[in-house]
Chains A and B, each alone.
Chain A
Amino acid sequence: SQQGEEDPQALSIQEGENATMNCSYKTSINNLQWYRQNSGRGLVHLILIRSNEREKHSGRLRVTLDTSKKSSSLLITASRAADTASYFCATPPAGANSKLTFGKGITLSVRP
């Protein structure tokens, strides 16, 4: 079974709107990471939040982590057409920082 599972599976919004994506995981983690993948390309690391952090910002990205609920959310504010991509959360299991486990991803479409 997946360690990280994102929802919704697909999200379509208008340019300028905010996009919120969620991720749940099952086991203890040291950190949780969000990646973006444009069609036909590799993954691009967006942001890492450690298990002792609750919220983190990077530009138009805001990530929260609730370890009691084993969940995280990624908020993209003021979305742009260029944000259209698949988004994945990834968790390295505690004690194995190198072995990322990815969910199936969220397909975000931002309409111009």
Chain B
Amino acid sequence: NAGVMQNPRHLVRRRGQEARLRCSPMKGHSHVYWYRQLPEEGLKFMVYLQKENIIDESGMPKERFSAEFPKEGPSILRIQQVVRGDSAAYFCASSPTESQPQHFGDGTRLSIL
């Protein structure tokens, strides 16, 4: 009964490169959420997806960031042309329905050189 799996745990990119963060939700969970956490801060909501659909992307920057949750496979958070300010921990969570508590993965720590 695996929890939410995120990979990689750590990702290092140079400015201008692309970063791809993967999230496999818990079995039976079709709702996926992405959050970003800066040091000493709480998590900030980015995007909410439900199989193949983006439900709420109000927390995601309009440029360079995109997310998907295909019918088959993990959810992907993609950051193009990364900048230093993108350095953060990115957490994925999943839930079986929208109203039930979210279960979090251990995050991907993204460092931009």
Contacts and interface: CB of A to CB of B under 8 A. Distances in A.
Contacts of A102: 35, 42-44
Interface in A44-103: 44-45, 48, 88, 96-103
A26 interface: no
Contacts of A104: 40-42
A42 interface: yes
A57 B11 CA distance: 39
Given A99-B45, A100-B45, A102-B42, A44 B33 contact: no
Residue from B40, B41, B45 with most neighbouring chain A CB atoms (10 Å): B45
A96 B44 CA distance: 15
Interface of B: 4, 6, 31, 33, 35, 40-45, 48, 55-56, 58-59, 91, 93, 95, 98-99, 101-107
15 contacts: A4-B42, A33-B101, A40-B106, A42-B91, A42-B93, A43-B91, A45-B102, A96-B56, A98-B56, A98-B98, A99-B58, A100-B45, A104-B40, A104-B41, A104-B42
Interface of A: 2, 4, 33, 35, 40-45, 48, 88, 96-105
